């Protein structure tokens, strides 16, 4: 390890034992001393010293007092640029009102500054070039909060300087110095070279470090109090953070390449294309030496002149749109496509000249807009996403979208796709490619077989079949290839052995062609046998040459057996090769290989034994790098994998059993190897254990989403089939829920995916599934009820003997709940809902049933929208419509304690979209807001006061001009009734309802205001508004100014509700980004978020503090996490009657 390279790395490690409590002093904090802290800190200092960190000289012992600790922090953070590790093992306490987290010093006093102060100091340090990058390792109670500070989320990862790994979740206590022990153990493994980091990386990726620490802490907690670890979000999600060079990789080799195939195209060039293009696959196959030399610096492609001529012409634009290269495994399909890709791809052409220039008699020219894909182990969505990126289509990776984008282009794009038969779901990918036919030109490499009958029918005669190459030509090409491979380096490269090399090449080629290789191509067997020959001494006579030629194997298993016999001192070699035959995707990391190999041999292998076997098998392997920077391994050819699998018998079950040992008991999926999170479902399906795995909600939450979704969709049936024709019985309720909500949760973090699935299950009434997703300190969801479907008029195509035309029909439509008001009945909490089926319902939240209802007398179609309010025992609902030829509102008033029919109704040409209840001069009134449309001049804002208990006619509007209004709330300002409205112009207007005039106009929203709430905060009247700009703004109505802007929603804010948590005002907002967010209005911080499966349409807080939200046709009751309880409503609307009649016919 290079001393100079770590000159800027320094560490401050503090373990605070603390004073013993004074039982006689009532003011003593009562915190017990942590006697283990100094020892744990010393162990961490030692391992950091082994990693060449310089300990920071801090003056007075920072563990002695809070003041000394602050001085040490100030000193280490002010010491200039570099990489700094700050570790503190101590007690942590929170501020009584702010919730800020403070460290407790050795004298029992807390620090003056909270931890966020030091984080901000690092982030805001000036000048930037003198600021260090700091990794805070905080092993103290409640520190989880500072690892997920809201403002940190908006800091770009490339510019972020402070990174926090904290013991415990947000607001949680911690135990026994577990984080410190885990960090020390992980760093010890790194220092000892046991981390299995790819040798091309000089430093250990932070994401890998985080995951290993989390896993160890979870192991330590198995037999004790549970404990989480809060890590930087970007690091835990595996983001690419190469600039965070905190911990050096002892295995680093400057000359190491990303792949085991040391082709002349380095990984920076490969990255110009992309991962799924798999440049190393095409260049390695083009070189023809993967299985011989484990590198492809030389080009050994020989012959195939007729095929090259045909394919080069096709790449120049000749021939039909779709062309197929087919043949047995190992016959040379990938080599042929690889050499053509190297010559034709604009990025590779110059860099890979050694692999094609002078070797092709009729090479293709460079092809613009050429996309290349190695389909091995890839799903349809992954392949489509690769095409979108390589062709810069800017579309979603859906087949239909890709086809549409391609048809809009002036010139056809060109695709070379190899290993179609090795895709994750070959038949499904075949159907997708056939849809692309006509929209682009495609050259496809695939084994021959009946399952690709549809592709064969599509291409007709447009195929190049390498199985039909004449034997005489095959003999010549094999002989030339073998001679060149044997003589490029090694013992046969010496001039005195040239004739021997020629005889060996002639004999091997002759025997392979004469005897044939029934299941695999001659070139693959020849390449692998050439490796065996090169590992043996050069024969001294013709008899020995003949023996070498006569023992040419006829299948891959015989080749592997020969290789095994050459390595009798590597006992785990056969088991490692068998294990890798079951690898999915880019390959298995060393830890997974170790576990899987134990399925094929008795005993438990040591790390050095597995590494010895991997080295002995290197000529059969592809080595790559996963997203965490670890080396991953797979067999270089699928044909070899198939051969080894066939010899394993029932290996899938044993492989699955041993893979599960890596996640422990209970299962630790959150910190499991990324390979397992991505491929465990495939291994379980192969072993017949998929349903059992899917019953584990922790796996479902943490599994790699696109991979699991792809597998489940495959079981569900082809996506082009209607739902009734799919295999619904193959999916468990949980799995079906996962698929149905995939578009929502696919890109979310595991914790947010858990929330979506929990709420979606509750919405469907599957309460057991919902509870299975509920963890400690999380939101709970319960379905209250669902508005039934209603009959709605629809336009339909009518077929008659005289032709077809448009007509009116009646169809069932889902109802939509958009009006939601909490009411107090003197008992259990209730809510009143209004929905577009024209029915007002009163729900008992606890029993989940309708206790009263009222139906509109009007027939309504699907274009009507609805809202409602409660006023002095009356329910007022407004149905409004605005479409071509119709703009009006219909008002219903119910006294639900008396009857189910409206006691009053009113029609108006105003389109009222919102309503609020108030009292004006002691008369109950409602405030109606919306607009009036004139077909010549457009829409004008409309605000009307109406007494629903009086005359049905509306009074004169307070407003009948300006921009349309979209929301209204009412309350008291200066002892007088006022209303606050939000408009489509982004303005917030304040109205004195007694005077009937506008008193203030507040501006700040950049787009329309969609919701508003009226509240008294600190004895002063305030309004809270949510806008289409995604901002939530708080206004002091007495001073007429904006006091806070709450940002977090990424889409428009549709609904708001006020609540009280421990006597502090809080706000709940629902947005088009499918989230509910909870805000502390005193501090202006977001204190909770719930991700939903769909956008909320209405929101309220019931009389018992239950949060009630409507999602489309369903009303849900939510219970917030403990830290947000007890919650109480800001206000509750009383209903006059204490006893509402039952409604036996209610849904």
CATH label of the domain that carries residue 915: 2.130.10.10
Cα separation, 818 vs 630, whole angstroms? 51
Residue 113, domain member (yes or no): yes
With a cut of 90, say whether residue 551 has pLDDT above it: no
Residue 1078 DSSP label: E
Q: In total, how many domains does the chain have?
A: 6
Residue 489, domain member (yes or no): yes
Q: What is the CATH number of the domain that holds 591?
A: 1.10.10.10
CA angle at residue 88 from 87 to 93, to 5 degrees? 145
Lowest mean pLDDT among 253-262, 421-430, 939-948: 253-262
What pLDDT, on the 0 to 100 scale, is given for residue 854? 78
What pLDDT, on the 0 to 100 scale, is given for residue 828? 86
* pLDDT band per the 50, 70, 90 thresholds, residue 908: confident
Lowest mean pLDDT among 233-237, 272-276, 360-364: 272-276
> For residues 712 and 295, which has the higher predicted lDDT (pLDDT)?
712
With a cut of 90, say whether residue 755 has pLDDT above it: yes
Q: Each residue of 756-785: pLDDT tens digit?
A: 999 999 999 998 889 888 766 678 999 999
Whether residue 335 is found in the same domain as residue 402: yes
With a cut of 90, say whether residue 805 has pLDDT above it: no
* pLDDT band per the 50, 70, 90 thresholds, residue 138: very high
Structure tokens at 436: 């692309």
Q: Each residue of 362-380: pLDDT tens digit?
A: 788 888 889 999 888 888 8
Whether residue 541 is found in the same domain as residue 564: no
What pLDDT, on the 0 to 100 scale, is given for residue 1136? 37
Whether residue 936 is found in the same domain as residue 1001: yes
Give the whole-number percent of the chain exceeding pLDDT 70: 87
Whether residue 228 is found in the same domain as residue 321: no
Q: Each residue of 1057-1066: pLDDT tens digit?
A: 999 988 889 9
Mean pLDDT, rounded, for 444-455:
85
* pLDDT band per the 50, 70, 90 thresholds, residue 898: low
What pLDDT, on the 0 to 100 scale, is given for residue 722? 47
Residue 111, domain member (yes or no): yes
* pLDDT band per the 50, 70, 90 thresholds, residue 290: low
Q: What is the 3-state secondary structure (H, E, C) of 665-728?
A: CCCCHHHCCHHHHHHHHHHHHHCCCHHHHHCCHHHHHHCCHHHHHHHHHHHHCCCCCCHHHCCH
Whether residue 798 is found in the same domain as residue 813: yes
What pLDDT, on the 0 to 100 scale, is given for residue 1143? 31
Specify the 3-state DSSP secondary structure of 452: helix
Cα separation, 1075 vs 1068, whole angstroms? 10
Residue 457, domain member (yes or no): yes
Q: What is the CATH number of the domain that holds 460?
A: 3.40.50
Q: Each residue of 731-749: pLDDT tens digit?
A: 888 998 999 999 999 988 8
With a cut of 50, say whether residue 1138 has pLDDT above it: no
Average pLDDT for the chain: 84
Residue 567, domain member (yes or no): yes
Whether residue 1049 is found in the same domain as residue 953: yes
Residue 949, domain member (yes or no): yes
* Strand pairing category for 9-15 and 83-89: parallel
What pLDDT, on the 0 to 100 scale, is given for residue 1140? 35
Show the domain range for 527.
471-554
Whether residue 520 is found in the same domain as residue 573: no
Asked whether 84 and 37 are in contact (CB, 8 A), the reply is: no
Cα separation, 633 vs 624, whole angstroms? 6
> For residues 172 and 1135, which has the higher predicted lDDT (pLDDT)?
172
Residue whose C-alpha is closest to residue 223's, from 544, 665, 746: 665
Residue 450 DSSP label: G
Of 191, 216, 236, the one marking the end of a domain is 236
* pLDDT band per the 50, 70, 90 thresholds, residue 796: low
* Strand pairing category for 413-418 and 370-374: parallel
With a cut of 80, say whether residue 30 has pLDDT above it: no
Whether residue 93 is found in the same domain as residue 152: yes
Whether residue 413 is found in the same domain as residue 475: no
Q: Each residue of 614-666: pLDDT tens digit?
A: 988 887 888 888 888 888 999 878 888 888 888 876 789 999 999 999 998 88
Lowest mean pLDDT among 35-39, 292-296, 435-439, 751-755: 292-296
Residue whose C-alpha is closest to residue 53's, from 132, 128, 131: 132
What pLDDT, on the 0 to 100 scale, is given for residue 268? 33
* pLDDT band per the 50, 70, 90 thresholds, residue 1123: confident
Cα separation, 108 vs 29, whole angstroms? 8
Residue whose C-alpha is closest to residue 258's, from 631, 674, 638: 631
What pLDDT, on the 0 to 100 scale, is given for residue 254? 54
CA 1064, 1070, 1071, 1077 torsion-angle sign: positive
Of 534, 554, 574, the one marking the end of a domain is 554
C-alpha distances in Å from residue 357, one per residue of 360, 371, 496: 7, 21, 29
Residue whose C-alpha is closest to residue 771's, from 785, 760, 786, 781: 781
Residue 253, domain member (yes or no): no
**Is it true that the peptide bond before 127 is cis, omega within 30 degrees of 0?**
yes
Run of H or E residues at 592: helix 590-597
* pLDDT band per the 50, 70, 90 thresholds, residue 1147: very low
Phi-psi map region of 1078: left, alpha, beta (phi>0 left; psi -120 to 50 alpha): beta
Lowest mean pLDDT among 284-293, 370-379, 961-970, 1092-1101: 284-293
Structure tokens at 1006: 């950049």
Whether residue 291 is found in the same domain as residue 345: yes
What pLDDT, on the 0 to 100 scale, is given for residue 7? 63
Whether residue 334 is found in the same domain as residue 210: no
CA angle at residue 254 from 251 to 256, to 5 degrees? 75
| Helix, strand, coil content of the chain in percent (nearest 5) | 35, 25, 40
Q: Each residue of 667-712: pLDDT tens digit?
A: 889 889 999 999 999 999 999 999 999 999 999 999 999 889 888 8
Cα separation, 1069 vs 1078, whole angstroms? 7
Mean pLDDT, rounded, for 1105-1109:
94
Backbone φ, ψ for residue 136 (5° rounding): -90, 125
Residue 247, domain member (yes or no): no
Of 517, 536, 554, the one marking the end of a domain is 554
* pLDDT band per the 50, 70, 90 thresholds, residue 869: confident
Q: What is the CATH number of the domain that holds 192?
A: 3.40.50.1460
Structure tokens at 772: 């299975």
Q: Which residues contact 169 (CB under 8 A, 6 or more apart)?
A: 144, 228, 230, 777
* pLDDT band per the 50, 70, 90 thresholds, residue 29: low
Q: Each residue of 122-136: pLDDT tens digit?
A: 999 888 888 899 999
Mean pLDDT, rounded, for 846-869:
73
Backbone φ, ψ for residue 978 (5° rounding): -130, 160
Lowest mean pLDDT among 273-277, 569-573, 1104-1108: 273-277
> For residues 379 and 446, which has the higher predicted lDDT (pLDDT)?
446
Whether residue 798 is found in the same domain as residue 743: no
Give the whole-number percent of the chain exceeding pLDDT 90: 38
What pLDDT, on the 0 to 100 scale, is given for residue 1134? 39
- What's the predicted TM-score (pTM) here? 0.82
> For residues 865 and 686, which has the higher predicted lDDT (pLDDT)?
686
Q: DSSP labels for 48-97?
A: HHHTTPEEP--SS-TTS-HHHHHHHHHHHHTS-SSEEEEEEES-EEE-TT
């Amino acid at each position: 390890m290079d001393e100079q390279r770590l000159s800027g790395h320094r560490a401050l490690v503090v373990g605070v034992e603390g004073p013993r409590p004074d039982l006689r002093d009532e003011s003593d904090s009562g915190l017990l001393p942590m006697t283990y802290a100094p020892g744990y800190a010393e162990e961490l200092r030692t391992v950091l010293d082994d990693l060449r960190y310089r300990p920071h000289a801090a003056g007075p012992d920072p563990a002695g007092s809070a003041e000394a600790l602050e001085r040490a922090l100030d000193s280490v953070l002010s010491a200039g640029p570099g990489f700094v590790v700050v570790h503190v093992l101590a007690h942590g306490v929170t501020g009584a009102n702010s919730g800020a987290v403070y460290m407790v010093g050795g004298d029992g006093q807390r620090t003056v500054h909270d931890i966020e102060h030091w984080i901000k100091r690092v982030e805001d340090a000036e000048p930037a070039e003198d600021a260090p990058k700091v990794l805070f390792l905080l092993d103290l109670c409640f520190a989880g909060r500072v690892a997920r500070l809201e403002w940190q989320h908006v800091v770009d990862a490339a510019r972020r300087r402070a990174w926090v790994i904290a013991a415990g979740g947000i607001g949680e206590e911690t135990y026994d110095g577990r984080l410190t022990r885990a960090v020390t153990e992980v760093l010890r493994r790194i220092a000892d070279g046991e981390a299995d980091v790819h040798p091309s990386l000089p430093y250990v990726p932070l994401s890998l470090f985080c995951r290993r620490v989390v896993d160890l802490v979870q192991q330590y907690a198995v037999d004790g109090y549970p404990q989480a670890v809060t890590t930087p979000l970007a690091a835990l999600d595996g983001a690419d953070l190469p600039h965070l060079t905190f911990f050096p990789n002892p295995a680093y080799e400057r000359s190491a390449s990303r792949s085991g195939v040391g082709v002349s195209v380095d990984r920076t060039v490969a990255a110009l294309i992309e991962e799924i293009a798999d440049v190393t696959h095409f260049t390695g196959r083009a070189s023809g030496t993967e299985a011989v030399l484990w590198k492809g610096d030389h080009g050994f492609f020989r012959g195939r002149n007729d095929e090259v001529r045909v394919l080069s012409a096709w790449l120049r634009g000749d021939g039909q749109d779709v062309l197929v290269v087919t043949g047995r495994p190992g016959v040379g399909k990938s080599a042929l496509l690889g050499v053509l890709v190297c010559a034709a791809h604009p990025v590779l052409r110059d860099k890979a000249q050694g692999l094609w220039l002078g070797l092709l008699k009729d090479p293709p020219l460079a092809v613009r807009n050429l996309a290349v894909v190695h389909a091995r182990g890839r799903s349809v969505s992954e392949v489509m996403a690769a095409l979108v990126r390589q062709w810069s289509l800017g579309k979603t990776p859906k087949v239909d979208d890709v086809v549409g984008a391609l048809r809009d282009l002036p010139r056809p794009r060109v695709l070379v796709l190899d290993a179609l038969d090795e895709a994750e779901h070959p038949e499904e990918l075949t159907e997708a490619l056939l849809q692309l036919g006509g929209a682009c030109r495609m050259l496809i490499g695939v084994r021959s077989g009946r399952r690709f009958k549809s592709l064969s029918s599509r291409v007709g005669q447009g195929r190049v079949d390498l199985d039909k190459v004449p034997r005489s030509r095959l003999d010549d090409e094999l002989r030339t290839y073998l001679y060149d491979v044997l003589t490029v380096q090694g013992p046969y490269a010496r001039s005195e052995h040239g004739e021997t090399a020629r005889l060996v090449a002639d004999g091997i080629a002759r025997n392979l062609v004469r005897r044939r290789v029934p299941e695999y191509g001659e070139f693959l067997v020849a390449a692998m046998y050439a490796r065996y020959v090169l590992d043996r001494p050069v024969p001294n006579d013709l008899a020995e040459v003949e023996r070498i030629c006569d023992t040419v194997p006829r299948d891959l298993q015989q080749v592997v057996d020969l290789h095994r016999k050459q390595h009798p001192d590597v006992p785990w070699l056969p088991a490692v090769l068998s294990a890798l035959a079951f690898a999915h995707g880019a390959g298995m990391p060393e830890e997974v290989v170790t576990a899987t190999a134990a399925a094929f041999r008795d005993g438990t292998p040591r790390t050095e034994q597995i590494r010895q076997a991997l080295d002995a098998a290197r000529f059969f392997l592809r080595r790559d790098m996963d997203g965490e920077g670890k080396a991953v391994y797979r067999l270089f050819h699928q044909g070899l994998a198939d051969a080894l699998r066939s010899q394993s018998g029932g290996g899938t079950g044993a492989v699955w059993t041993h893979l599960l040992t890596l996640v422990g008991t209970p299962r630790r999926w959150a910190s499991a190897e990324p390979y397992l999170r991505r491929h465990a479902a495939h291994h379980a399906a192969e072993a017949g254990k998929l349903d059992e795995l899917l019953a584990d909600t922790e796996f479902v939450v943490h599994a790699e989403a696109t991979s699991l979704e792809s597998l489940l969709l495959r079981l569900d049936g082809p996506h082009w089939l209607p739902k009734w024709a799919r295999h619904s019985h193959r999916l468990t309720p949980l799995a079906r829920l996962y698929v149905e909500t995939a578009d929502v949760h696919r890109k979310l973090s595991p914790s947010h995916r858990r929330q979506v699935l929990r709420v979606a299950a509750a919405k469907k009434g599957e309460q057991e599934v919902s509870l299975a997703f509920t963890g400690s300190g999380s939101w709970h969801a319960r379905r209250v009820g669902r508005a039934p479907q209603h009959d709605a008029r629809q336009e339909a195509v009518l077929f008659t003997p005289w032709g077809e035309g448009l007509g009116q029909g009646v169809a069932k439509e889902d109802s939509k709940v958009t009006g939601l008001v909490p009411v107090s009945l003197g008992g259990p909490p209730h809510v009143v809902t209004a929905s577009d089926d024209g029915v007002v319902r009163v729900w008992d939240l606890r029993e989940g049933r309708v206790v009263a209802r009222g139906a509109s007398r009007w027939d309504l179609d699907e274009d009507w929208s609805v809202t409602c309010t409660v006023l002095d025992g009356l329910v007022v609902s407004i149905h409004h419509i605005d479409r071509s030829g119709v703009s009006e509102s219909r008002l219903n008033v119910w006294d639900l304690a008396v009857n189910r029919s409206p006691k009053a109704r009113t029609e108006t040409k105003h389109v009222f979209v919102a309503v609020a209840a108030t009292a004006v001069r002691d008369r109950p009134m409602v405030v109606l807001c919306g607009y009036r449309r004139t077909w010549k001049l457009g829409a004008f804002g409309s605000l009307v006061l109406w007494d629903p208990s009086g005359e049905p006619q509306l009074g004169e509007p307070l407003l009948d001009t300006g921009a349309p209004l979209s929301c209204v709330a009412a309350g008291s300002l200066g002892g007088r009734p006022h209303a606050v409205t939000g408009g489509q112009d982004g303005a917030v207007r304040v109205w004195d309802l007694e005077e009937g005039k506008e008193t203030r106009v507040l501006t700040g929203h950049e787009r329309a205001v969609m919701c508003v709430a009226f509240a008294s905060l600190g004895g002063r009247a305030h309004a809270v508004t949510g806008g289409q700009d995604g901002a939530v703004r708080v206004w002091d109505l007495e001073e007429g100014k904006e006091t806070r802007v709450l940002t977090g929603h990424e889409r428009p804010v549709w609904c708001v509700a006020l609540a009280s948590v421990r006597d502090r005002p809080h706000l709940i907002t629902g947005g088009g980004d499918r989230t509910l967010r909870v805000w502390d209005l005193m501090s202006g911080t977001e204190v909770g978020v719930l991700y939903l499966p769909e956008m909320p349409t209405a929101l309220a807080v019931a009389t018992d503090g239950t949060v009630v939200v409507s999602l489309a046709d369903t009303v849900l009751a939510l219970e917030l996490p403990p830290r947000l309880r007890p919650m109480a409503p800001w206000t509750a609307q009383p209903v006059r009657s204490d006893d509402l009649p039952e409604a036996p016919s209610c849904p």
